[in-house]
Amino acid sequence: MSESLFDQASERLAQAIAHVPISEDAIERLKSPKASLQVSIPVRMDDGTLKVFQGYRVRYNDLRGPTKGGIRFHPSVNMDEVKSLAFWMTFKCAAVNLPFGGAKGGVAVDPKQLSKFELERLSRGYIDAIADFMGADVDIPAPDVQTNPTIMGWMVDQYSTIQRKLCPAAITGKPLAMGGSIGRETATGLGAFFAIETLMPLLKMEREQTTVAVQGFGNVGAAIADLMSKAGYKVVAVSDSKGGIYSEKGLDVPSIINYKQSARKFQAVYCQDSVCNIVEHKTISNAELLQLDVDILIPAALENQITEVNADLIRAKYIFEVANGPVTPAADAILEKKGIMVFPDILINAGGVTVSYFEWVQNRSGFYWTLSEVNDRLKQSMVAETLRIWEIANEKQISMRTAAYVHALSRLSEAIEAKGTRDYYIQ
């Protein structure tokens, strides 16, 4: 039987425990989620038929604060995936020192097959089903794969209707007009960029001589590709769900983004066009993109993209995980033997949840920050935590992934021990 995604996620914890003095109580508390919910969401379709979609929400751990995590709409969503993502969020929030625990949610659906009306009914129906499971002091959802500010707006409006009062802090990633934070939509890509920029001098790499391939050209992948291109890196390949394009001389990323944006203008909420329709390029598959001989590979799509099956074919010098869980534990071992350094998702893509935290703070205070204030605070956080995790990796002679988990686990352990452990009670 193949290993579940949650089993893979748990291996990260086991590797970190060996490098942190931690109580048995802490280990037990982190082995399983605090609460899991599976719901059925009936939706009246435009043709009058009724379809029932399966939805999920997992609150993994709230020792450091209310749980936080995105909602994804994707056909592959299931409880194992959502539980694993909630696990990762727990460690991500601790790694960048946010006062949150980890959560995640999703609906098993291909949103591209729904009309805008059906998508809105599904979004509101999901909130109807989980309303008793969430709230600004309990669990705060946000956007994730194939969800966006429009969908978050529908969701927070539905939650506010249920509560009979405005509840902007209950959901982040909202439209600005509904209490969203400026800078939230690009935060994941920008946070990754800040981490990469912090690490480049430590790796003795120069922008103009660094080639980059980005797998995934949604909001996050497009943002990081654009930022790196404008900063002087040579972005030679990008891809979306339908395939990719490659040019050894480098791509004109802003033009690709403009094409994608113009192609989607008649496509409701989602873009159904592929970057493969851009002219003057070599067409490649997602698998081929992962195997390109580049300096930096950025997986920015879904989990389990680099596994024991293709890890030996990876030729990039460095991998920066902008997606959640794109590299499996088995692949990690192979990449390490090949001398390929992996910078983990719980650090690299933490910009999104960091600015979600900023949005939550602004909603609760009623005082809103400028874009420069948001970005400066994000940069300060990402630089500080990246440098600390780099120091831990070098001090303990461990991988950056294990160092990130060690860093997070230390903070989680402190929260657990503050409430009393076995050692306290048997003294």
CB 319 within 8 A of CB 63: no
- Scanning 299-344, the segments in alpha helix (DSSP H) are 329-337
Q: Quick one: residue 37, left, alpha or beta (phi over 0 = left, psi -120 to 50 = alpha)?
A: beta
CA angle 11, 349, 418 (to 5 degrees): 60
CB 54 within 8 A of CB 276: no
Q: Facing residues of 37 across strands?
A: 57
What is the rounded distance in angstroms from the CA atom of residue 227 to the CA atom of residue 298? 13
- Residue 204: strand, helix, or coil: coil
Nearest to 350 by CA among 94, 86, 136: 94
- Scanning 251-348, the segments in alpha helix (DSSP H) are 253-263, 286-290, 329-337, 345-348
What is the rounded distance in angstroms from the CA atom of residue 300 to the CA atom of residue 349? 9
Q: Would you mind telling me the total number of residues written for the chain in this entry?
A: 427
> What residue has token string 């946070």?
191
- Residue 21: strand, helix, or coil: coil
Reading across the β-sheet that carries 50-61, which strands appear in turn? 35-44, 50-61, 101-108, 67-74, 139-143
What is the rounded distance in angstroms from the CA atom of residue 173 to the CA atom of residue 164? 21
Q: If you write DSSP's letter for every residue of 269-293 in order, what string do you get?
A: TS----GGGSSSSEEE-HHHHHT--
What is the rounded distance in angstroms from the CA atom of residue 244 to the CA atom of residue 233? 19
Tell me which residues are annotated as active site: 104
